[in-house]
């Protein structure tokens, strides 16, 4: 029977009596579920999982710079272990699976599991309550939940209290986009195309630099969205999270 990722993550937290989630070592959870963890240099991959006969070997790339990123990758691999334990399988996880735009069902399930395990719905909503959206809020949430800022961004789109859109690009091409359900602006068919002219992401790809004046830059709505017939080209904001190892940019777009 197929397992629900979020329900499975909640069940694990309840079964083990885990309340202080940010302090939990995900390696210990992997060991609890008959896995071992090793760090090695991986090529073009953040994590690797091999499962057979109820046992698992998780390998995490030793070149990952931030502990919070490693923590999210480990939670993703744990998701594969508990959700897909009936498989003899090998998973290689990189930006395509961890950023969410490779739409294989098992990868989505592992991401949904990791999100609920590290950022439970009720705790995340409470942490956002009454707080104005800023990029600093994303950083504060990442510290609070001890997870990667990119995982916070995607969680905020689903559960946050301010509409956002995000565009993930790699090597100058848009790969994937996602937006909050209350952001109604139309997004053109830009997947696999160059990032838009006059976007902050374009500034990075063209000049290998970003944020000449400050972290947040003003853009026009038409930079990333299609304007309706009677729609004004109003001011919006773009903030970028750059991952040099993948030559990728996560553009976060919002308005006041």
Q: According to the CATH classification, is domain 5-121 in 1.10.1060?
A: no
Q: Which of 181, 177, 170 is nearest to 249 (CA)?
A: 170
How confident is the model at residue 211, as a pLDDT?
63
How confident is the model at residue 100, as a pLDDT?
60
DSSP state for residue 22 in the 8-state scheme = G
8 A C-beta contact, residue 181 and residue 221: no
pLDDT in tens, 32-66: 999 999 999 998 889 999 998 888 999 999 999 89
8 A C-beta contact, residue 198 and residue 223: yes
The mean pLDDT of the chain is 91
Mean pLDDT on 74-87: 89
Flag whether pLDDT at 173 surpasses 70.
yes
Percent of the chain with pLDDT over 90: 79
Question: Where in the sequence of the chain do the CATH 3.30.450 domains occur?
Answer: 163-256
pLDDT in tens, 203-253: 999 988 766 555 789 999 999 999 988 899 999 999 999 988 889 999 999
Geometric angle at alpha carbon 34, from 31 and 40, rounded to 5°: 60
* Distance, CA of 160 to CA of 181 (rounded, Å): 11
How confident is the model at residue 3, as a pLDDT?
87
* Distance, CA of 94 to CA of 86 (rounded, Å): 23
How confident is the model at residue 101, as a pLDDT?
54
How confident is the model at residue 169, as a pLDDT?
96
8 A C-beta contact, residue 224 and residue 165: yes
The pLDDT-based confidence of 106 (bands split at 50, 70, 90) is: confident
Q: Which of 43-52, 68-77, 86-95, 105-114 has the highest mean pLDDT?
A: 68-77
The pLDDT-based confidence of 88 (bands split at 50, 70, 90) is: low
How confident is the model at residue 87, as a pLDDT?
65
Q: What is the CATH topology of the domain spanning 163-256?
A: Beta-Lactamase (3.30.450)
Element (H, E) at 36: strand 35-40
How confident is the model at residue 24, as a pLDDT?
94
Give the CA dihedral 46, 52, 54, 59, nearest 10 degrees. Answer: -20
């Amino acid at each position: 029977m197929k397992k629900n990722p979020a329900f499975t993550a909640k069940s694990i937290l309840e079964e083990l009596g885990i309340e202080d989630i940010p302090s939990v070592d995900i390696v210990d959870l992997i060991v609890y579920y008959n896995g071992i963890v090793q760090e090695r240099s991986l090529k073009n991959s953040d994590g690797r999982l091999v499962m057979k006969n109820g046992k698992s070997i998780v390998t995490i790339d030793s070149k990952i710079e931030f502990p919070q990123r490693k923590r999210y990758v480990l939670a993703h691999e744990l998701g594969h272990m508990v959700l897909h334990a009936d498989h003899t399988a090998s998973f290689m996880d990189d930006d395509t699976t961890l950023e969410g735009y490779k739409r294989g069902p098992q990868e989505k399930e592992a991401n949904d599991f990791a999100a609920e395990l590290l950022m439970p719905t009720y705790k995340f909503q409470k942490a956002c309550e009454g707080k104005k959206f800023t990029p600093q809020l994303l950083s504060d949430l990442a510290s609070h939940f001890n997870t990667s800022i990119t995982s916070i961004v995607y969680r905020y789109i689903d559960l946050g209290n301010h509409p956002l859109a995000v565009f993930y690009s790699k090597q100058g091409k848009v790969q994937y986009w996602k937006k909050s359900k209350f952001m109604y602006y139309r997004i053109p068919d830009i997947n696999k195309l160059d990032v838009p002219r006059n976007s902050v992401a374009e500034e990075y790809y063209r000049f290998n630099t970003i944020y000449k004046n400050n972290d947040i830059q003003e853009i026009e709505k038409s930079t990333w969205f299609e304007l309706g017939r009677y729609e004004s080209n109003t001011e919006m904001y773009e903030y970028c999270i750059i991952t040099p190892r993948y030559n990728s940019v996560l553009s976060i777009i919002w308005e006041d």
